[in-house]
Amino acid sequence: MISPLAYIHPEARIGANCEIGPFCFIDRNVVIGDGNKLMNNVTVLYGARIGKGNTIFPGAVIGAVPQDLKFAGEETTAEIGDENTIRENVTVNRGTAAKNKTMVGSRNLLMEGVHIAHDCIIGSSCIIGNGTKLAGEVVVDDMAILSANVLVHQFCRIGSHCMVGGGTRTAQDILPYSLIARDPASFCGLNTVGLRRRGFERDTIDSIHKAYQTILQGTGLLKDLLERVENEQPDSPEIAYILDFIRTSKRGFIR
């Protein structure tokens, strides 16, 4: 299952039932779990940690040093969860002293040419489209969908169950459950189709819709609008998540 044309450092730890194709390079201080498939020409560098059952396509580079001039060679990692599909030429950089690690969760699809920069935190069950680039310390919550060629500024947060249109550029947070598109990027409503496909009840979708009507179309201070939502909408995990997301936003959010 391991090609004789692959290079594996003697100190690398490789799990059971892994398939490693020709011309792969696996550095020292690398841990690869069971059942992974690395096609030809995959590069796994110092500090990479890869879970179980991932499929990594040709040209991907996991664990390259950060493209951050403040990086001083500190011990950091690039951590990949389980059952991800990582397509051709994806790059996932190691962390810096800021967070010490870059993390990609489980069951994600990272399409061709995606770049995950230092200290990013990617949740699980996300889809990140061809050519999308995430700058340093971006956070992507579970089940977000980013279409092709999306550019995300450093320190932004992308909410769960959102859908971001192709070619979108954002320097602000993207609200959960939202549909974001146009140039400049703007809020285009709820990701209703996605929410229905994922089993959200009509009452839950209506509650999210009403909350965003109050927040985005209401008049007055934002903190007062959030309190209105808190008082007028029934308690639910979705409403609590929206309120916490906005209250903890550091870059503001797309409206």
**211 and 229 in contact (C-beta within 8 Å)?**
yes
Of 68, 82, 119, 141, the active-site residue reads 119
Q: Is 118 a catalytic residue?
A: yes
Q: Is 115 a catalytic residue?
A: no
Of 118, 131, 159, 165, the active-site residue reads 118
Instruction: Report helix, strand or coil for 181.
Output: strand
Q: Give the Cα separation of 179 and 109 in Å (integer).
A: 19
Of 129, 131, 136, 165, the active-site residue reads 136
Q: Is 136 a catalytic residue?
A: yes
Considering only CA atoms, which of 182, 185, 242, 179 is closest in space to residue 210? Answer: 242
What is the longest distance spanned by two Cα atoms in the chain? 67
Residues 6+ apart with CB under 8 A from 49: 30, 31, 77, 78, 79, 80
Question: Concatenated DSSP letters for 223-241?
Answer: HHHHHHHHHHSPP-HHHHH
Supply the residues annotated as catalytic: 118-119, 136
